[in-house]
């Protein structure tokens, strides 16, 4: 499919002209101890998809096979990934809040309005974090640079949720919000427990994390869920790097953006997923990332994979533009879609 339609995809992508304009990010010093800063970015995207897997503005790990006799295509131009954050610090205390515009809302008929969505809202006091932010199970440095918002989602540990986290050097432990996907999440009464240790050096970092959970099935039975994650970012030649993630066990909703549920019937679901990417700098202002991810679960209800390759150009320190092509496959349904995406990103 991809070979026969590649010229069509590139032709469609060439019509986008995107510009970004915003004030630069800045920090205000209120006193010797009090500081407030603002940040975020404006991101404009054009996405063309052709195939038989359901899609919208980015891939979900689960995807949806479209039951049509012929391939389906779609063009979308949007700016929903645009985000804004604010941080206030006073000595050992820091508060952080961030929003983007993936919160639904508006009609494409006239205004294309989009509701703000809470991403992060947490307080940090010395070594303790309370509030909503990335799960401790994640290694955010192992997320590849992609134009697609979620990237190769089925291989990513990717959740933001409420938690209490304690950090001691390279070791972190947290109690996090429980929810049983595919079972009865309304009676979850024990927090998820996560512990992670990160090895760091001039070479990069590698984290090893463990997850313990109590899961509730639809009939109210209790299952114990245990999962693991190994992820990292390794520096290679110059500014190049390799990023990888491997996850297994009863990780369920923590990995793959719903590519697997927490329970199937009366049993905890076991899943395996991995992601690997390589980023190469052609020059100081030109870089590419090639990425591949795959996931499957023991219920054999879903097997999915995605690959992509991109090229980003920094026009200024704040403004970069890029193009990405790739494929998303639901191997268990023999369905797939090709995509091309153009993007412009202006960092505040």
Q: How far does the chain reach from its first CA to its final CA, in angstroms?
A: 39
pLDDT the model gives residue 52: 82
Q: pLDDT digit string (tens) for 71-107?
A: 678 899 999 999 999 999 999 999 999 999 988 887 7
CB-CB contact of 250 with 213 (8 Å)? yes
Quote the pTM value: 0.88
- pLDDT band for 59, please (50, 70, 90 cuts): confident
Look at 218 and 21; give whichever has higher pLDDT. 218
Total count of domains within the chain: 1
pLDDT of 24 > 90? The answer is no
- pLDDT band for 300, please (50, 70, 90 cuts): low
Average pLDDT score over residue span 191-217: 97
CATH code of 165's domain: 2.40.160.10
The parent domain of residue 97 ranges over 2-347
pLDDT the model gives residue 73: 86
Q: pLDDT digit string (tens) for 211-262?
A: 999 999 999 899 999 999 999 999 999 999 999 999 999 999 999 887 888 9
- pLDDT band for 301, please (50, 70, 90 cuts): low
Q: pLDDT digit string (tens) for 111-138?
A: 888 899 999 999 999 999 999 999 999 9
CB-CB contact of 308 with 324 (8 Å)? yes
Q: What is the 3-state secondary structure (H, E, C) of 174-242?
A: EEECCCCCCCCHHHCCCCEEEEEEEEEECCEEEEEEEEEEEEECCCCCEEEEEEEEEEEEEECCCCCEE
- pLDDT band for 12, please (50, 70, 90 cuts): very low
Mean pLDDT over each residue of the chain, to the nearest integer = 88
pLDDT the model gives residue 96: 97
Share of the chain above pLDDT 90, in %: 66
pLDDT the model gives residue 9: 43
Nearest Cα to Cα of residue 294 among 329, 270, 321? 329
CB-CB contact of 167 with 127 (8 Å)? yes
Contacts of 108 (CB under 8 A, 6+ apart): none
Average pLDDT score over residue span 331-343: 86
Q: In angstroms, how far is CA 147 from the centroid of its own chain? A: 11
311: how many CB neighbours lie within 10 A of its CB?
15
């Amino acid at each position: 499919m991809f070979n026969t339609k590649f010229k069509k995809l590139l032709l469609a992508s060439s019509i986008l002209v995107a510009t970004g304009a915003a004030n630069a990010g800045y920090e205000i010093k209120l006193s010797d101890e009090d500081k407030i800063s603002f940040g975020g970015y404006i991101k404009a995207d054009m996405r063309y998809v052709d195939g038989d897997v359901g899609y919208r503005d980015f891939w979900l790990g689960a995807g949806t096979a479209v039951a049509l006799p012929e391939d389906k295509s779609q063009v979308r131009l949007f700016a929903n990934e645009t985000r804004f954050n604010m941080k206030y610090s006073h000595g050992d205390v820091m508060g952080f809040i961030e929003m983007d515009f993936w919160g639904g809302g508006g009609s494409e008929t006239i205004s294309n309005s989009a509701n703000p969505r809470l991403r992060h809202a947490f307080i940090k006091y010395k070594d303790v974090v309370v509030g909503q932010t990335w799960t401790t199970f994640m290694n955010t440095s192992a997320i590849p640079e992609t134009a697609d918002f979620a990237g190769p989602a089925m291989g990513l540990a990717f959740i933001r949720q409420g938690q209490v986290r304690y950090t001691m050097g390279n070791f972190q432990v947290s109690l996090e919000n429980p929810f049983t996907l595919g079972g009865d999440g309304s009676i979850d009464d024990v927090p998820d427990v996560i512990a992670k240790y990160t090895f760091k050096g001039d070479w990069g970092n590698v984290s090893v994390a463990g997850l313990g959970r109590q899961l509730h099935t639809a009939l109210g039975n209790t299952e114990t869920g245990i999962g693991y994650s190994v992820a990292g970012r390794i520096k290679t030649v110059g500014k190049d790097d390799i990023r990888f993630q491997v996850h297994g066990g009863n990780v369920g909703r923590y990995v793959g953006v719903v590519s697997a549920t927490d329970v199937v019937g009366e049993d905890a679901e076991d899943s395996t997923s991995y992601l690997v990417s390589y980023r190469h700098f052609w020059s100081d202002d030109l870089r590419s990332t090639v990425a591949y991810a795959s996931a499957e679960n023991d219920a054999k209800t879903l097997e999915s994979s995605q690959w992509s390759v991109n090229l980003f150009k920094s026009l200024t320190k704040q403004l970069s533009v890029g193009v990405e092509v790739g494929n998303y496959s639901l191997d268990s349904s023999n369905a797939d879609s090709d995509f091309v995406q153009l993007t412009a990103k202006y960092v505040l």
